[in-house]
Amino acid sequence: MTYIANSGRYKNVQYKRCGRSGLLLPRVSFGLWHNFGDNADYENMKKLCFTAFDNGITHFDLANNYGPKYGAAEENFGKILKEEMKIYRDEMLISTKAGYDMWEGPYGNYGSKKYLVASLDQSLKRMGLEYVDIFYHHRPDPETPLWETMHALDSIVKSGKALYVGLSNYDGKRMREAAEILNDMGCPFVINQNRYSILDRTVENNGLLDAAEEKGKGVICFSPLAQGLLTDRYINGIPEDSRVKTDGRFLQEGRITPDMVEKIKKLNYLAKERGQTLAQMALAWVLKDDRITSVLIGASKCEQILDNLKAAENTSFSDEELKMIDDIVK
C-alpha cells in the first residue's frame, strides 16, 4: 500500500528560521543515527519516517557512516524514499555528513577535499538523490588546512550536490574562522550541529552558541536526551531492551551510577511538576535558548516521536526551575 502523508501535517508544528538564512527548520528534527542500520527492522524504519513526516517533521538527518554497517542508514532511508516518499522530496530537508572514518586508507577520513567530495558522491548514490539540502563537515581536522576543507564545501554547493553547508562539532573559535572563509566565498553556510543537553553544556563553555549568534548561523543539537539518560528509562534499573544492553557503544552501563540515577529521579520529579515527561522537559530546556534552531531526536518506537514533539509546546522555564535544574546536575 502506497504511503499517503497526513494532509494536516503542517497545522500544529513550529518552524524556526535557521540563523539569518531563508531556511526554516522544525523545532524537532528526526535523526537516523540509531535504529536505521542493517540490524534494525525495515518495516519499523518506515513507520518511524511516516510518523515523523505525518506530524510536520520535515528534517531528516543522516551521516555517511551511520549504521551498522557504515552507509546502511543512508541505504535504508534511500529505499524508503524510493518506495514510499519520493513524491514528497521537495517538502523534505535531508542532510548528511562526512568527517569520521568511512573507508580504509588515507582518503576515507577527516577533512580533505578528496574525502569530502567522494563521500558525498557515495551518499547521494546510496540515497538515490541528486542533491542533499545540507552537507556537513562532521568534525574539525587538525591536519588539513581549514581553507581546503571550506573550499571543498563551497565547491560541493557550486556543483549542485548540496544547497547549504554546515559544520558539526566545531567550537566557537574554529567556527568563526571557518565562517569568515565561507562567507568570503559566498558559500551558504547556515548551521552548526553540536551535542547539547542538560548534562552536557560544552557548547556554552567553548563559545559556539555566542559565535553562532554573532555570525547569524543556526544551531541544531544532537543527543539532547544524553543517549536516553534524560528519560525515565533508567530510574528503576537498566531494561533489557535499552540501548545500554543492546548497543553499548554510545551509552555505557558504567555511566548509570547511583548518583546519576538520583539526579535523573530529581529531574523527573521536576518534569512532572511542569506537566511534562522527563524527555519533554529535557528537549524543552534546550529549545528555550533562542540561539537554538532545532533539536535532533532519535526513536525506536513511533510513540517516542509523538511524545517528544510535545516538548515544543512549553519551552518556558521560571528562574527557580532553571536554578533547580542547575543545582541537580552540578
Contact 225, 197 (CB under 8 A): yes
Q: What is the pLDDT of residue 242?
A: 58
Q: What is the pLDDT of residue 254?
A: 74
Cα separation, 165 vs 156, whole angstroms: 9
Cα separation, 72 vs 75, whole angstroms: 5
Other beta carbons within 10 angstroms of residue 93's beta carbon come to: 21
What does the pLDDT average to over 179-198? 98
Share of the chain above pLDDT 90, in %: 90
pLDDT category of residue 121 using cuts at 50, 70 and 90: very high
Q: What is the pLDDT of residue 252?
A: 60
Tell me phi and psi for residue 26, to 5 degrees: -65, 150
Contact 222, 66 (CB under 8 A): no
Cell 550536490: give the residue.
161
Q: What is the pLDDT of residue 238?
A: 65
Cα separation, 116 vs 97, whole angstroms: 9
Q: What is the pLDDT of residue 247?
A: 59
pLDDT digits (tens, 9 = 90+) for 237-254: 666 565 554 555 656 667
Cα separation, 291 vs 244, whole angstroms: 32
Helices 278-287 and 302-309 sit at what angle, rounded to 10 degrees? 50
N residues, the chain: 330
Other beta carbons within 10 angstroms of residue 253's beta carbon come to: 12
Q: Can you list the alpha helix ranges (DSSP code H) found in the chain?
A: 42-54, 72-80, 113-127, 146-158, 172-185, 202-205, 208-215, 243-246, 258-273, 278-287, 302-309, 319-329
Domains of the chain, CATH where assigned = 15-329 (3.20.20.100)
pLDDT digits (tens, 9 = 90+) for 30-60: 999 999 999 999 999 999 999 999 999 999 9
Q: Residue 220: is its pLDDT beyond 60?
A: yes
Between vectors from CA 38 to CA 37 and to CA 42, what angle results, nearest 5°? 85
Q: What is the pLDDT of residue 255?
A: 79
Cα separation, 126 vs 122, whole angstroms: 6
Tell me, rounded to whole angstroms, the distance of Cα 42 from its chain centroid: 21
